[in-house]
Amino acid sequence: SYVLTQPPSVSVAPGKTATITCGGNNSGRKSVRWYQQKPGQAPVLVIYYDSDRPSGIPERFSGSNSGNTATLTISRVEAGDEADYYCQVWDSTSDHGFVFGTGTTVTVL
Amino acid sequence: QVQLQESGPRLVKPSETLSLTCTVSGDSVSSSVYWNWIRQPPGRGLEWIGYIFYSGSTNYNPSLKSRVTISADTSKNQFSLILTSVTPADTAVYFCARTYGDFPYWYFDLWGRGTLVTVSS
């Protein structure tokens, strides 16, 4: 089955930039989505189609995808960005299903 | 405003069957979108369980396929999850979610709040 690997944790000071990676075999050929999940809440879509933002998501959130790595970048980090972040793709191999990354906890120092 | 709400027993005994329902308001389960179940064990990551399309077609996570059934009741505007032969490893928060967008670029744009189901004797 397809695997998406993320760093378990990322720490960042307020106002700085957080970078979260999502590694998967040829992930650059897949459309990557990113979700933010705060404790006790359902996930919220922050990026789709690799780099598009849903309405209401700040421009500080951006995404890219190339080769075997997709990246979520959070600029000018705020305390409210502290959360778990998950990447996700649709696996078009024989399994045919949605796959989530392992998840990254972003801590704002 | 579209909303999803999970409901069902919060405690299930090992070897028994877990059954949950997602009630959709503000949209129709008969609309041409996919309706999903996703779960998250305590302190762990997200796992997609499966989906149902308005036509009745379904697709399940291969790791759960032998134990999962997802169905829809259009008269009640609900879709349901059945997971058989549960073990404590099935203890998780279960979310229902809507898939939106064009295949294969679709994404989960709307989620229920989730419900914790504990498998224990």
pLDDT in tens, A29-73: 888 999 999 999 999 999 999 999 999 999 999 999 988 899 999
Among B45, B106, B114, the residue with its CB nearest the CB of A100 is B45
Terminal-residue alpha carbon distance, chain A: 36
Residue B104: its pLDDT value, please?
84
pLDDT band at A78; cut points 50, 70, 90? very high
Among A43, A86, A99, the residue with its CB nearest the CB of B111 is A43
Closest CA to A37 of A89, A75, A82: A82
Sign of the Cα torsion A82, B10, B51, B17 reads positive
Residue B88: its pLDDT value, please?
97
Does the pLDDT of residue A95 top 70, yes or no?
no
Closest CA to A87 of A73, A100, A74: A100
Residues of chain B with pLDDT under 50: none
Structure tokens at B56: 């009745």
Q: What is the CA radius of gyration of chain A?
A: 13
Determine the Cα–Cα distance for residues B116 and B39; give it in Å rounded to an integer. 9
Note the pLDDT tens digit of each residue in B64-84.
999 999 999 999 999 999 999
| Number of other CB atoms surrounding residue A11 within 10 Å | 11
d(CA A37, nearest CA chain B) in Å:
10
Q: A57 CB near a chain B CB, below 8 Å?
A: no
Residue A19: its pLDDT value, please?
98
Structure tokens at B72: 């829809």
Note the pLDDT tens digit of each residue in A16-37.
999 999 998 777 788 899 999 9
CB contact under 8 A, B45 and A102: yes
> How distant, in Å, are the alpha carbons of A27, A47, A68, A109, B119 from that of A42?
25, 16, 28, 24, 21
| Number of other CB atoms surrounding residue B12 within 10 Å | 20
Residue A73: its pLDDT value, please?
98
CB contact under 8 A, A42 and B106: no
d(CA A76, nearest CA chain B) in Å:
25
Residue A94: its pLDDT value, please?
65
φ, ψ of residue B66 in degrees (nearest 5): -70, -15
